[in-house]
Amino acid sequence: MAEVPSSRIITIGGYDHINSVVLGGKNPVALQTMWKDSLSASDITGSSGSAALERIEGLAGLGCRLLRFAVPDLDAADVLGELAAKTAMPLVADIHFDYKIALRCLDYPIAKIRINPGNIGKKERVIMVLEKAAARRVPIRIGVNAGSLPADLRKKVEAGAITRAEALVTAAERELEIFDEMNFRDVLVSMKASSIRDTLVANRLLASRTDVPLHIGVTEAGPLIPGVVRNAVAMHTLLAEGIGATIRVSLSDTMEQEIIAGREILNAAADTEGGETVNLGVTIVSCPRCGRNSFDTHGFTEKWQNYLYSLDKNITVAIMGCVVNGPGESRHADIGITGAGNKVLIFRRGEVIRTIDASEADDAFREELQKLL
Ligand code: SF4
Is 287 known to sit in a ligand binding site? yes
| pLDDT on residue 68 | 97
> Considering the domain boundaries, does residue 1 fall inside one?
no
Residues 154 and 151: their CA atoms lie apart, in Å, by: 5
Pocket of ligand 1 contains residue 333 by CB under 6 Å:
no
> Considering the domain boundaries, does residue 95 fall inside one?
yes
Coil vs helix vs strand at 202: helix
- Ligand 1 atom closest to 320 (CA): 1
* Count of Cβ atoms closer than 10 Å to residue 280 Cβ: 19
> Considering the domain boundaries, does residue 71 fall inside one?
yes
Tell me how many domains the chain contains: 2
> Considering the domain boundaries, does residue 278 fall inside one?
no
Same domain, 27 and 119: yes
> Considering the domain boundaries, does residue 61 fall inside one?
yes
* Residue 27 belongs to domain spanning: 10-272
> Considering the domain boundaries, does residue 86 fall inside one?
yes
Name which residue sits closest to atom 2 of ligand 1, judged by CA.
322
Same domain, 245 and 303: no
CATH number for the domain that contains residue 60: 3.20.20.20
> Considering the domain boundaries, does residue 174 fall inside one?
yes
Same domain, 223 and 289: no
Q: Which of 272, 298, 327 is the last residue of a domain?
A: 272
> Considering the domain boundaries, does residue 4 fall inside one?
no
Same domain, 257 and 312: no
Task: Indicate the burial class of 139 (C-beta count within 10 angstroms; 0-12, 13-18, 19 or more).
Answer: buried
Pocket of ligand 1 contains residue 336 by CB under 6 Å:
no
Same domain, 78 and 199: yes
Is 64 known to sit in a ligand binding site? no
Is 105 known to sit in a ligand binding site? no
CATH number for the domain that contains residue 298: 3.30.413.10
What is the Å distance from ligand 1's center to 47 Cα? 44
Same domain, 208 and 70: yes
What is the Å distance from ligand 1's center to 320 Cα? 6
| pLDDT on residue 274 | 61
- Ligand 1 atom closest to 297 (CA): 4
Residues 7 and 24: their CA atoms lie apart, in Å, by: 5
Pocket of ligand 1 contains residue 287 by CB under 6 Å:
yes
Cα first-last separation, the chain: 45
Amino acid identity of residue 221, one-letter, is A
Same domain, 175 and 309: no
Q: Measuring CA to CA, which residue among 167, 163, 217 is closest to residue 188?
A: 217
Same domain, 38 and 135: yes
Helices (H), the chain: 46-62, 74-84, 99-105, 123-135, 151-158, 164-181, 196-207, 224-240, 255-272, 297-309, 361-370
Same domain, 146 and 293: no
Residues 186 and 129: their CA atoms lie apart, in Å, by: 13
Is 322 known to sit in a ligand binding site? yes
| pLDDT on residue 34 | 96
Same domain, 254 and 350: no
Same domain, 157 and 60: yes
Same domain, 89 and 129: yes
Q: Which of 272, 298, 321 is the last residue of a domain?
A: 272
Q: Which of 219, 248, 272 is the last residue of a domain?
A: 272
Q: 10-residue block means of pLDDT along the chain (373 residues)?
A: 76 94 95 93 88 96 96 96 96 94 97 86 90 96 91 94 97 95 97 95 97 96 93 96 96 95 91 62 88 90 93 92 79 91 92 94 97 93
